Chains A and B, each alone.
Chain A
Amino acid sequence: MINFRLEERENKSLRRQIISPFLAVFVALIISSLFILLAGVSPIDSFKELFIGSFGSRNAIAETLSRATPMILTGLAASIAFKARFWNIGAEGQLYAGALAVTFFGTGLVELPSFIMIPFLFLVGALAGGLLLLPLVLLKNYYKVDEVVTTLLTNFIVVLLVSYLLEGPWKDPMSLGWPQGASVIDQGVLPQILSRTRLHLGFIFSIFFAILIWIIISKHLIGYQIKAVGFNPSAANHSGVPVLKTIFIVALLSGGMAGMAGVTETAGLKGYLTLDLSPGFGYAGIAVAMLAALHPLGVIASGIFLASIYVGADAMSRSMNVPTYLADVIVAITVLCVLVSLIINQYKFRFLEQNK
């Protein structure tokens, strides 16, 4: 029997910490090759197609970056929450909540000049996402109800709500019977930033928020308290850190980021709300955050990278007979590989000889 022990490493080398996400991705791609082989296709050719599909042309890059926009935001949502050891798996629902807020306020109810309108839409989207998460945070704090399950279940509830609204009261009369929301008014639409592509202002916003969150987490009191509460809420409490207030802030920030992902998709990419607005951006955000080791700036890079996997896989499935689900497989394996790399960073393996 393999008898081993994990011994905590005394010094966590910075070099190892920087290399490990890359190593994790590399290993994940190798393991994914097995699945590509199952499809009867050469992995090398597939990865070439994947790369071309996501970075090989001006259009491809624009598509990748526009796909990265919501993923960076949901990645930030997961990063903030996970740093506080609050397992917010509800980004998907919070995203749709943000989209609902945009549809409610931005399709004609409120009319403001666009330099006010756009930040306004981001604000209501963020509030919607944050307020959706808040009661679940309170449930965890006062009733010890596990947030993983409640946030997950809430996703299903929100999506059903969207379905009801889009088939019913919020159905766009101009949509020829297709269930979708009314169009966002011109002042609220996020302008295109690269001609003849789908890349819109939302991308700039997502970068901006990543930098903002990074500053807060690393240099500000709030970020400091979030980290303390995440590492050891009891010790933080004993030292006078307001734990409940901190958790509130985490909920608003985390849910808010995810809500804003809903804003970028509704007011930027599509222009209106549909039921398939998010092909799982909320869940992908978890992978983005893990790969970035919960670092807000790293989220930009890992968001773009994972977006390229999805965009590239779409292109690849058109030219070769590999199902688009390959992207999901690669992302899932990446999450698992990142987990392994975290263990390797923190512990040393010690094999024990059995004394016979």
Chain B
Amino acid sequence: MILEFFEIFFTAGFWAATIRIACPLIFATLGEVICERSGVLNLGIEGIMSLGAMVGWMSVYLGADLYSGILIAALTGALFGLLHAIFTVYLGASQHVTGIGITMFASSVGFFSFKLILPSSTTPPKIIPFEKLEIPFLSEIPFLGEALFQHTPFTYLAFFSVIIIFWLLNSTPFGLSIKMAGENPMALEAQGIDVLLVRTVSVILGSSLMAIGGAYLTMSAFDAFYFGMINGRGWIAIALVIFAAWKPERALLGALLFAGLDAYQVRAQQLAGAFIPYQFFLMLPFFLSIVAMIIASKRTRYPKALLIPFRRGERH
């Protein structure tokens, strides 16, 4: 019996599930990393993910193709990111309260619109989500094939995004500006670069990624939109950002680790369900996030200018 708990790790299905579960977290964490690296805490993440999930799904339900759906979700995220930036970057309002407000606004708009378009739905209607795209040759490798190379294009997009964001932050002038905006914005201003613009673009870009993360749930992992389906993933992503020390490559690692634990928990539940109530398994991700934050807090270095609004021309 105990052996069965270990055998879970040897099933390809477990690893495939890990990757699937990780994807929304990857998008969301990447998005938050960009925002916080530039100095802005974006607590709108949970709401933006929820709205992205709804918008992406609804576009496809109303006739758009899947890729357009992703794009529309991204644009919606960008719009709410712009709203967040206007409050926090340009007006210098409290990043905490703005974020909560944006989460409330984005999620309520999502639910409202959904109910408006589909007023009577006791069981949520479905769309045809992304199909698995088997990569030729690689997908036929035993074990690894099923684990790694039989995923939907949306899944591959998540991993591709990590590479793009890594490149952006570390090898481009804009990425350098983002890093400096979050560390010492005066340094950026002293070189004549518009700090507010850099931060705004970062928040817009980050929010698009968050919305895409939400859309993954309704367009690849599942095929319908449920109220409350984000279920705290946004907040978990915030914990993961700290765990990842604001680095994209570590965000990937953190998301995979976390997803692995989640995938394991689902399977372990089936084995132990008789002894341990399912709710305790469901609590695990949240406990672990708190633990991750405690561990990470000892050694991390927050971006120095995080949470501090930058006001032009202020006397120093």
Query: Which size class do A's interface residues fall under?
Result: 35 or more
Cβ contact within 8 Å between B298 and A164: no
Of A38, A333, A339, most buried by chain B (CB within 10 Å of CB) is A339
A148-167 interface bits toward B, Cβ cutoff 8 Å, 1 = contact, 0 = none: 11101110110011011001
Whether B238 lies near A149 (C-beta < 8 A) is: yes
Indicate which residue in B108, B239, B283 contacts A160 across the interface (CB closer than 8 Å): B283
Inter-chain CA distance A154–B291, complex, in Å, is 12
- With beta carbons under 8 angstroms apart, the residue of A87, A139, A156, A329 that contacts B105 is A329
Minimum CB–CB distance for A126 against chain B, Å:
24
Q: Are A143 and B298 within 8 A (Cβ)?
A: yes
Chain B residues whose C-beta falls within 8 Å of the C-beta of A283 in the assembled complex: 100, 104
> Are B100 and A325 in contact, CB atoms less than 8 angstroms apart?
no
Assuming the A-B contacts A39-B116, A290-B97, A335-B101, are A325 and B108 also in contact, with contact meaning beta carbons closer than 8 angstroms in the complex?
Answer: yes
Residues B112 and A153 in contact, CB atoms below 8 Å apart: no
Q: A150-B293, A335-B100, A335-B104 are in contact. Are A6 and B91 (CB under 8 A)?
A: yes
Q: Smallest CB–CB gap between B200 and chain A, Å?
A: 12
8 Å CB contact of B279 from A35, A149, A164: A164
> A residues 122-168 with Cβ under 8 Å of B?
139, 143-146, 148-150, 152-154, 156-157, 160-161, 163-164, 167-168
Q: State how many angstroms separate the Cβ of B64 from the closest Cβ of chain A.
A: 19
Q: Which residues of A contact B (CB under 8 A)?
A: 1, 5-6, 35, 38-39, 87, 89, 139, 143-146, 148-150, 152-154, 156-157, 160-161, 163-164, 167-168, 283, 286-287, 290, 321, 323-326, 328-329, 331-333, 335-336, 339-340, 342-343, 347
Question: Other CB < 8 Å A-B pairs besides A89-B100, A323-B116, A325-B108, 15 of them?
Answer: A35-B109, A143-B294, A143-B297, A145-B290, A146-B238, A148-B43, A152-B232, A156-B283, A328-B104, A328-B108, A328-B112, A335-B101, A340-B87, A340-B91, A343-B92
- Asked if B93 is an interface residue, CB under 8 A from chain A, the answer is yes
Q: A144-B297, A323-B111, A326-B112 are in contact. Are A164 and B91 (CB under 8 A)?
A: no
B residues within 8 A CB of A343?
91-93
Provide a sorted-by-A list of 16 A–B residue pairs whose CB atoms are within 8 angstroms. Answer: A143-B298, A152-B235, A153-B286, A154-B290, A156-B286, A157-B286, A160-B282, A164-B277, A329-B108, A329-B112, A332-B105, A333-B105, A335-B97, A336-B98, A343-B91, A347-B92
Residue B171 is within 8 A (CB to CB) of chain A in the complex:
no
Interface of A is mostly: helix
Query: B137 contacts the other chain (Cβ, under 8 Å)?
Result: no
Beta-carbon nearest neighbor of B286 in chain A? A153
B267: interface (CB < 8 Å): no
B143-189 contacts to A (CB < 8 Å)? none
Does A168 lie within 8 Å of B112, measured CB to CB? no
Please report the C-alpha to C-alpha distance between residue A139 and residue B102 in the assembled complex, in whole angstroms: 26
Contact partner of B239 (CB less than 8 A), chosen from A149, A290, A332, is A149
Is B132 an interface residue, CB under 8 A from the partner? no
B10: Cβ under 8 A from any A Cβ: no
Chain A CB within 8 A of B122 CB:
no
Interface string of B44-76 (1 = CB under 8 A from A): 000000000000000000000000000000000
